Amino acid sequence: MNLKTEDLENPEGQQAALKTSQTELLALFNAIQDVILVLSAEGKYLKIAPSSAPSLYKPPAEMLGKTLHDVLPKDFADRIMGCIRETLNTKKTVKIEYSLPIADQEVWFEASIAAMDENSVVVVARDINNRKQLEEKLRQQAQDLEQTLQELKLTQTQMIHSEKMSSLGQLVAGVAHEINNPVNFIHGNIEPLQDYTQDLLSLVELYQKYNFDHHPEIQEFIDKIDLEYIKEDLPKMINSMIVGTQRIRKIVLSLRNFSRMDEAESKVVNIHEGINSTLMILKHRLLDIQVIKDYEKLPLLECYAGEINQVFMNILVNAIDAIEQQFYQNKLAEIPEEYSGKINIKSRVIDSQWIEISITDNGIGMSEEIRKKIMNPFFTTKPVGKGTGIGMSISYQIITERHGGKLHCQSTIGKGTEFIIQIPIH
């Protein structure tokens, strides 16, 4: 403001100066985007500056002379009254953030409340909706990022896992293939060998019958090698070799069946074969566990057999773990009652479209809280080094996403767990 001293010396000059300063002040207020108001200690609206603020709660005429409680929602009026008291008591500026419904929209404000004198305060409220919207957008973006990160982590684990499974599968398939040839070689020769040895033994008997063995040197040799024992033992040896090679052939078949490396695409398979191969591979862990199979005749299933077998493997290994835990729990609690682990495997046709496999164990079971989380990636209740928490999440993925099926679990703590797999036939 440009006032010269001589202007203030006469009353007209003073009037004019006042007028100029009022106009200037008005212009200043008009340029301000904030809501500026003066309230009494009792919360009465004393003045509302004629600013250009676009967002007033009500027109000034409806507020002036009224109290906060007349104009605003009660909770909010209480809150402002609290601030007024605080700023009058402490003489410090109080800052608050709040939102008010203005023209069908929730508008956010940031207000500073400061004491003017003993009995009134000035409130400067600024519309911060843009900032709030930006904050909300940022929060949303952060949340989206978090979600993407989780998904990426899962994908990474799955890639590592499927890479491991596929190299393991290739290894298994390779070993199985390499063993298959020599085993077939032995197996194919063993029956003629059995015949030949039988013939040779019969020949020796013939020599003995016609006393060709009376020569002392021959007699001595017969005694030395214990011919009687050889005659008895040789057929038995050959028999057990036959049983052995048959067993190896079966294992090789199971390994090939399980890894299914030759079948990266979906194929029509007998699902029971997959379960049986998986059981065969887990045989060493099933020594003390009774496996009860209750198979219904199933149609052939169109699926990614190697992956489905992986699901059986994950569920069966968990069942074995749960049974072992139950066993040790009982032992710790010195429960004398005889406990024996059981796994029930049931299969059935639901209708012309779906089949169902259920795998039930009488292991340690789990609480409802845990049951809800088991399909989450990395969720495990097992000690570090034993549990990875990826078996069930991958199984879930394989059944639901890859095959359009369903995987459910029900469990009673201390009693056991049932997994139900439902898969569409085609």
Ligand X SMILES: Nc1ncnc2c1ncn2[C@@H]1O[C@H](COP(=O)(O)OP(=O)(O)O)[C@@H](O)[C@H]1O
Count of all residues that appear for the chain in the document: 426
Copy the structure tokens of residue 97: 């953030």
In the complex, minimum distance from the CB of residue 287 to ligand X, in angstroms, rounded to a whole number: 19
* Contacting ligand X within 173-232 (CB under 6 A): none
Residue 417 touches which of ligand X, Mg ion, none (Cβ within 5-8 Å per kind):
ligand X
Residue spans of beta strands (DSSP E) within 45-159 = 45-48, 94-102, 105-117, 120-127
Stretch 386-415 residues interacting with Mg ion (CB under 5 A): 391
State the nearest-atom distance from the C-beta of 273 to ligand X, in Å.
23
Interface segment toward ligand X; rule CB under 6 A; list 67-75, 134-142, 210-218, 314-322: 314-322
**Edge-to-edge strands, sheet with 354-361:** 289-294, 341-349, 354-361, 416-424, 406-412
121 binds, among ligand X, Mg ion, none (CB under 5 to 8 A by kind): none
User: In the bound complex, what is the minimum distance in angstroms from residue 264's beta carbon to Mg ion?
Assistant: 24
Whichever of 173 and 279 has its CB closer to ligand X, that residue is 279
Q: Which does 176 bind (CB under 5 to 8 A by kind): ligand X, Mg ion, none?
A: none
**Closer residue to ligand X, CB minimum distance, 314 or 347:** 314
For residue 26, the partner it binds in ligand X, Mg ion, none, with Cβ less than 5 to 8 A by kind, is none
- Is the Cβ of residue 277 or residue 417 nearer to ligand X in the bound state? 417
Establish if 391 lies at the interface with ligand X (CB under 6 A). yes
Place of tokens 């600013």: 51
Q: Using the minimum distance from each CB to ligand X, give the nearer residue, 109 or 312.
A: 312
| Cα–Cα dist 265/155, whole Å | 20
Residue choice 259, 310, 318, 417 for contact with Mg ion (CB under 5 A): 318
Among 318, 347, 362, 397, binds ligand X (CB under 6 A): 318
- When binding is defined by CB under 6 A, the residue of 57, 295, 327, 379 that contacts ligand X is 379
Task: Report residue 153 as tokens.
Answer: 């982590």
- Distance (Å, rounded) from C-alpha 95 to C-alpha 128? 13
Pairwise CA distance, residues 270 & 268, whole Å: 7
Query: How far, in Å, are 1, 12, 20 from residue 6 at the CA level?
Result: 15, 11, 15
Instruction: Please report whether residue 377 would count as binding Mg ion according to CB under 5 A.
Output: no
Helix (H, G, I), strand (E, B) or coil at 380: coil
Binding to ligand X in span 319-378, by CB under 6 A: 319, 322, 361, 363-366, 370, 374
Coil/strand/helix, residue 302: strand
Token pair in block for residue 223: 């005694």
Distances (CA, A) of 339 to 223, 288, 343: 54, 11, 13
Q: DSSP class of residue 295?
A: P
Site residues, Mg ion (CB under 5 A): 318, 391
Site residues, ligand X (CB under 6 A): 314, 318-319, 322, 361, 363-366, 370, 374, 379-382, 387-393, 417
